[in-house]
């Protein structure tokens, strides 16, 4: 049964998202950040926290973080600084994390998401820079440590508590990933942990002040974010209805049971004994740098979506599908520019090409020229829509042109009434039962008769022409 919100309890969610930046080297040393390297081969005294080793800030980290901030409409601080967040954790040998506390690099942005009720703005409180910790690997040998991730640069993107449904959380995360991938500052691969999400959640009766929140850390898929929100909302509602109070705590979402479990009472900022990082100077961003970084931003998905709707008459839904990945949007723009049927280009792209694409970094194996040509052939009545789709699949990953494919298989559309009429006549002769049903008042049978006629034409008939002939044959004679 589909999950439902309970009457009288509003859901309030704010998300903290960690994205690993795609810089070549780590944030405070020159170790590489390559994912999947042999454990503990990408470390040095700085990222391992040896005594006396000093951090040097990687300028590219500020560049990338600021670019993310600009793409999300944030103000970029001309002056910000780093702070130490002190805690003991086995995967962080320094026993503190260098982060940004009271003066983050970016503040006050927003993200527009599409919801069933229309567009909604989700506020972005801040984006700050910090270092990642190492990785604990629990297996049958015990707990192993891989320090390669120590010092990989992260941005933490903190949303306002503006999210009200699990679907909005899902839409926010997808949109955030889209925008970050557009800028190229992060590959946002959730399965590699380069995008991770903490969910803060409370409930309240409508009109009341925010309730006490709990936090679920390190969710690593969109599905588990949605499931964790549903489970934790249900738990809080039951607790309140049983007269209990909600404790501010960190909880763990267990995918197998679909429940959340208390881990520890929530630590507050003062528990971390934040203080300014003495080994690093302030982060200064100049007007010149900022202007240059602004200039590097690509046209973002919202602007492209609006342009496709205005210029090509695409639906909001189709436009949104196409802008969800920058590479796809750029591909579409190339193909649309080469075609006189851009709407058909869009349609073939989001149906057949998307069906053939496999995985988020998959490459489109038909050239924009070929897709444009197929859209034009469809528009001009040379082939029908199904043939266009078959041709996309047929030339996928081959050198054959769609035209050669269509010719080789004799798939050109038949628009000649002299060829199609006998097929319609034959269909009517061979299907007396359906015809009787149709004349008996069952109008929907006409579609089945049409289908039978199309099959006789081996799918090559011009569907509009065929429909007209079927209409004429059924309604033009004895019925009148």
Which one of ligand ADP, Zn ion, none interacts with residue 364, CB within 5 to 8 A by kind? none
Which residue in 97, 159, 321, 413 binds ligand ADP (CB under 6 A)? 159
Structure tokens at 172: 């926010």
Quote the least distance from Cβ 47 to ligand ADP, whole Å. 24
Structure tokens at 322: 């196409």
Count of residues near Zn ion by CB under 5 A: 5
Quote the least distance from Cβ 200 to ligand ADP, whole Å. 3
3-state percent helix, strand, coil for the chain, nearest multiple of 5: 40, 20, 40
Quote the least distance from Cβ 47 to Zn ion, whole Å. 3
Quote the least distance from Cβ 273 to Zn ion, whole Å. 25
Which residue in 158, 228, 353, 375 binds ligand ADP (CB under 6 A)? 158
Give yes or no for residue 16 binding ligand ADP (CB under 6 A): yes
Give yes or no for residue 154 binding ligand ADP (CB under 6 A): no
CA distances from 174 to 102, 200, 349 (A): 28, 18, 20
CA-to-CA distance for 306 and 349, rounded, in angstroms? 18
DSSP single-letter state for residue 25: B
CA-to-CA distance for 52 and 279, rounded, in angstroms? 10
Count of residues near ligand ADP by CB under 6 A: 15
Which residue in 3, 210, 275, 317 binds ligand ADP (CB under 6 A)? 210
Structure tokens at 208: 């009341």
User: Contact region for ligand ADP (CB under 6 A) — 55-63, 200-208, 298-306, 317-325?
Assistant: 200-208
Quote the least distance from Cβ 25 to Zn ion, whole Å. 8
User: Contact region for ligand ADP (CB under 6 A) — 196-204, 306-314, 406-414, 463-471?
Assistant: 196-204
Nearest to 213 by CA among 245, 169, 171, 181: 245
N-terminal to C-terminal alpha carbon distance within the chain: 51
User: Contact region for ligand ADP (CB under 6 A) — 9-17, 19-27, 49-57, 275-283?
Assistant: 9-17
Which one of ligand ADP, Zn ion, none interacts with residue 29, CB within 5 to 8 A by kind? Zn ion
Give yes or no for residue 202 binding ligand ADP (CB under 6 A): yes
Distance of CA 318 to the CA centre of its chain: 15
CA-to-CA distance for 61 and 71, rounded, in angstroms? 15
Give yes or no for residue 14 binding ligand ADP (CB under 6 A): yes
Quote the least distance from Cβ 132 to Zn ion, whole Å. 12
Using DSSP bridges, classify how beta strands 96-99 and 249-254 pair: parallel, antiparallel or unpaired: unpaired
372 and 335 Cβ atoms separated by less than 8 Å = yes
The residues, any chain, with a CB within 8 Å of residue 346's CB and separated by 6 or more, are: 308, 312, 314, 318, 319, 322, 332, 336
Structure tokens at 211: 């309730």
User: Contact region for ligand ADP (CB under 6 A) — 33-41, 46-54, 195-203, 432-440?
Assistant: 195-203
Distance of CA 271 to the CA centre of its chain: 35
Contact set for Zn ion, span 16-75 (CB under 5 A): 29, 31, 44, 46-47
Give yes or no for residue 201 binding ligand ADP (CB under 6 A): yes
Give yes or no for residue 3 binding ligand ADP (CB under 6 A): no
CA-to-CA distance for 312 and 339, rounded, in angstroms? 11
Which one of ligand ADP, Zn ion, none interacts with residue 73, CB within 5 to 8 A by kind? none
277 and 81 Cβ atoms separated by less than 8 Å = yes
Which residue in 160, 369, 379, 403 binds ligand ADP (CB under 6 A)? 160
Which one of Zn ion, ligand ADP, none interacts with residue 21, CB within 5 to 8 A by kind? none
Which one of Zn ion, ligand ADP, none interacts with residue 44, CB within 5 to 8 A by kind? Zn ion
Which one of Zn ion, ligand ADP, none interacts with residue 213, CB within 5 to 8 A by kind? ligand ADP
Which residue in 67, 84, 85, 213 binds ligand ADP (CB under 6 A)? 213
Which helix or strand (DSSP H or E) is residue 287 part of? helix 287-296
Structure tokens at 190: 């959730």
411 DSSP β-pair partners? none
Which one of ligand ADP, Zn ion, none interacts with residue 47, CB within 5 to 8 A by kind? Zn ion
353 and 392 Cβ atoms separated by less than 8 Å = yes
- Of 70 and 201, which CB lies nearer to ligand ADP in the complex structure? 201
User: Contact region for ligand ADP (CB under 6 A) — 159-167, 226-234, 239-247, 378-386?
Assistant: 159-167
Give yes or no for residue 246 binding ligand ADP (CB under 6 A): no
CA distances from 108 to 72, 76, 111, 461 (A): 9, 9, 11, 57
CA-to-CA distance for 102 and 49, rounded, in angstroms? 24
Contact set with Zn ion (CB under 5 A): 29, 31, 44, 46-47
Contact set with ligand ADP (CB under 6 A): 12-16, 158-161, 200-202, 210-211, 213
């Amino acid at each position: 049964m589909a999950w439902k919100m309970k009457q009288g309890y509003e859901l309030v969610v704010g998300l903290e998202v960690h994205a690993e930046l795609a810089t070549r080297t780590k944030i405070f040393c020159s170790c590489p950040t390559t994912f999947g390297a042999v454990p503990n081969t990408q470390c040095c005294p700085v990222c391992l926290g040896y005594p006396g080793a000093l951090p040097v800030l990687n300028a590219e980290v500020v560049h990338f973080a600021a670019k993310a901030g600009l793409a999300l409409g944030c103000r970029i601080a001309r002056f910000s600084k780093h702070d130490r967040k002190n805690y003991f954790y086995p995967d962080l040998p320094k026993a503190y994390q260098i982060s940004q506390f009271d003066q983050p690099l970016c503040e006050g942005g927003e993200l527009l998401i599409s919801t069933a009720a229309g567009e909604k703005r989700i506020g972005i409180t801040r984006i700050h820079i910090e270092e990642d910790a190492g990785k604990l690997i629990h297996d049958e040998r015990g707990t192993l440590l891989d320090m390669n991730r120590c010092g990989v640069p992260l941005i933490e993107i903190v949303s306002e508590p503006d999210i009200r449904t699990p679907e909005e959380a899902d839409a926010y995360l997808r949109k955030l990933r889209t925008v970050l991938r557009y800028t190229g500052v992060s590959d946002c691969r959730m399965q590699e942990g380069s995008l991770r999400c903490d969910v803060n959640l409370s409930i309240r009766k409508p009109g009341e002040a925010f309730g006490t929140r709990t936090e679920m850390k390190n969710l690593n898929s969109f599905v588990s974010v949605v499931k964790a929100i549903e489970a934790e909302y249900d738990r809080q509602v039951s607790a309140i209805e049983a007269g209990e109070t909600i404790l501010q705590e960190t909880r763990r979402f267990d995918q197998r049971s679909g429940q959340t479990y208390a881990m520890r009472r929530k630590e507050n900022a003062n528990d971390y004994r934040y203080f300014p990082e003495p080994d690093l100077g302030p982060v200064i961003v100049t007007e010149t740098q900022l202007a240059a970084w602004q200039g590097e931003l690509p046209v973002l998905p919202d602007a492209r979506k609006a342009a496709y709707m205005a210029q090509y008459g695409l639906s909001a839904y189709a436009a949104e599908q196409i802008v969800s990945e920058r590479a796809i949007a750029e591909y579409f723009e190339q193909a649309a520019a080469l075609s006189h049927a851009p709407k058909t280009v869009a349609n073939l792209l989001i149906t057949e090409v998307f069906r053939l694409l496999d995985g988020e970094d998959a490459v489109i194996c038909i050239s924009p020229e070929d897709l444009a040509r197929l859209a034009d052939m469809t528009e001009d009545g040379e082939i029908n829509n199904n043939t266009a789709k078959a041709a996309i699949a047929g030339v996928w990953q081959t050198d054959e042109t769609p035209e050669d494919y269509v010719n080789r298989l004799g798939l050109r559309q038949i628009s000649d009434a002299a060829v199609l009429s006998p097929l319609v006549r034959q269909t009517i002769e061979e299907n007396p039962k359906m015809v009787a049903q149709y004349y008996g008042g069952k109008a929907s049978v006409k579609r089945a008769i049409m289908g039978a006629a199309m099959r006789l034409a081996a799918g090559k008939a011009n569907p509009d022409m065929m429909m007209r002939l079927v209409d004429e044959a059924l309604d033009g004679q004895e019925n009148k």
